[in-house]
């Protein structure tokens, strides 16, 4: 590996070498590309965007977007204007980049300069984007987001009715999509899905005719009536199961391994970790790994690491930079200082880890910290 060239990447984290890091995060860009192809196969002729908000769900927006670009993906979604500007810098001109949370008031010139597409969530944002188009002397691209029942982002039905009555409402605006977002798509039987779809139908008919976009990852699996013209998957690209009640149809993307800092043997009765929340019931062999809650592993999460298929339970509390593992199940001297144990990977999926932590895979991925050596493979 050429460390000098890694250092020139915009994400300086890539410069943390494996030798100095406490943990290694491996991101399989080939798996992301395969996941994109699998979603596209389900979508048929429907276009498929890539959602790369929150730095590509924690795994690197610029690397993920570049990989998706090679699969023919030409439409990306980020949450924040700052993310959009950074992504434009890394992708260069061409691909469409939509800013889901809308353009903050007064920042329209920054969005125009970076050639971003506004997601217009309110009448105020519509007025501001129209004014920006007037100043720019050309039409500006946008998606109009309507609230079909999630009550988070997008124009309320009353607002849609108002602007529908105004013939000048969209002057200067190139409406690329009318879009909305599903609240319960990961629960296929949830009645809100069909209710939202019908509300979306009604709202989009009031607006100028434009391609439509409704589904996230899980919504793709609700069937073709939800697909419209453009799907917006995020989670499934990163290997999170979009069909939680069924086997995961996606490939795993991340592997997280932490380094053993030290091993030791303790006697019966010894207290383990802060607060001595655990006491040894008998002699035990322990390993302390250089990985803790500062790396995004919740202090409350009861969990385990894995080594060559053997489960190594956490003992006591998760510390900021370390976790104590019970390695008594391994032969003595099997695990040594500097060896890597697995926290995410073939033995423990992102969704498994989320289950143990009482959260969702999205939060596991986006919590991953900045101290890892990051290795991008199969790019
Ligand atoms: C995050 C997000 C997505 C992607 O959702 P996933 O569940 O990760 O596929 C799509 N659309 C909107 C509006 C979003 O906020």
Domain match, 295 and 150 both: no
User: What would the mean pLDDT of 198-221 be, rounded to a whole number?
Assistant: 98
CA–CA distance from 332 to each of 284, 308, 335 (Å)? 11, 14, 8
Out of 238, 267, 285, pick the residue that ends a domain. 238
Ligand 1 atom with minimal separation from the 232 CA = 10
Is position 101 within any domain?
Answer: yes
Residue 325 has pLDDT above 50, yes or no: yes
Domain match, 232 and 261 both: no
CA distance 122 to 313: 49
Residue 6 has pLDDT above 90, yes or no: no
Q: Are 250 and 272 in contact (CB under 8 A)?
A: no
Which residue's alpha carbon is nearest to atom 13 within ligand 1? Answer: 181
pLDDT at 379: 87
Distance in Å, CA 56 to ligand 1 centroid: 12
- How is residue 315 annotated by DSSP? E
pLDDT > 90 fraction of the chain, expressed in percent and rounded: 93
Domain match, 221 and 276 both: no
Give the sheet arrangement for strand 47-48, strand by strand. Answer: 47-48, 230-231, 212-213, 173-179, 140-145, 117-120, 96-99, 75-78, 50-51
Kind and range of the H or E run holding 43:
helix 29-43
Distance in Å, CA 101 to ligand 1 centroid: 11
pLDDT at 298: 87
User: What would the mean pLDDT of 58-74 be, rounded to a whole number?
Assistant: 98
Global pTM value: 0.94
Instruction: Please tell me the total count of domains within the chain.
Output: 2
Domain extent, residue 170, equals 29-238
Is position 143 within any domain?
Answer: yes
- pLDDT tens string 296-307: 998 877 689 999
């Amino acid at each position: 590996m050429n460390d000098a060239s890694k250092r020139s990447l915009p994400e300086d984290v890539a410069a943390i070498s494996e030798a100095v890091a406490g943990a290694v995060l491996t991101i399989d860009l080939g798996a992301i590309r395969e996941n994109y192809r699998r979603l596209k196969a389900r979508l048929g002729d429907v276009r498929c965007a890539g959602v790369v908000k929150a730095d590509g769900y924690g795994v690197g927006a610029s690397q993920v977007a570049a990989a998706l670009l090679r699969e023919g993906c030409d439409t990306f979604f980020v949450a924040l204007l700052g993310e959009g500007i950074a992504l434009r810098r890394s992708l260069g001109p061409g691909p469409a980049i939509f800013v889901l949370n809308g353009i903050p008031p007064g920042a329209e010139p920054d969005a125009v300069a970076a050639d971003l597409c506004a997601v217009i969530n309110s009448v105020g944002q519509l007025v501001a984007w129209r004014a920006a188009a007037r100043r720019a002397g050309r039409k500006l691209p946008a998606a109009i987001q309507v609230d079909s029942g999630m009550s988070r982002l997008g124009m309320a039905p009353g607002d849609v009715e108002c602007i529908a009555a105004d013939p000048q409402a969209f002057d200067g605006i190139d409406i690329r999509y009318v879009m909305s977002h599903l609240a319960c798509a990961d629960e296929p039987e949830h009645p809100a899905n069909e209710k939202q779809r019908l509300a979306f139908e009604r709202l989009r008919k009031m607006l100028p005719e434009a391609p439509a976009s409704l589904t996230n990852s899980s919504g793709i699996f609700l069937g073709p009536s939800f697909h419209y013209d453009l799907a917006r998957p995020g989670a499934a690209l990163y290997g999170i199961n979009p069909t939680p009640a069924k086997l995961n149809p996606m490939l795993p993307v991340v592997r997280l391994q932490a380094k053993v800092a030290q091993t030791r043997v303790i006697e019966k009765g010894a207290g383990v970790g802060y607060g001595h929340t655990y006491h040894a019931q008998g002699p035990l062999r322990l390993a302390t790994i250089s990985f803790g809650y500062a790396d995004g592993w919740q202090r409350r999460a009861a969990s385990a690491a894995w080594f060559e298929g053997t489960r190594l339970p956490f003992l006591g509390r998760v510390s900021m930079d370390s976790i104590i593992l019970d390695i008594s199940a391994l032969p003595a001297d099997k695990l040594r200082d500097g060896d890597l144990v697995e926290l995410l990977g073939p033995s423990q999926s992102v969704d498994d880890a989320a289950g143990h932590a009482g959260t969702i895979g999205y939060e596991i991925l986006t919590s991953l910290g900045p101290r890892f050596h990051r290795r991008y493979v199969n790019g």
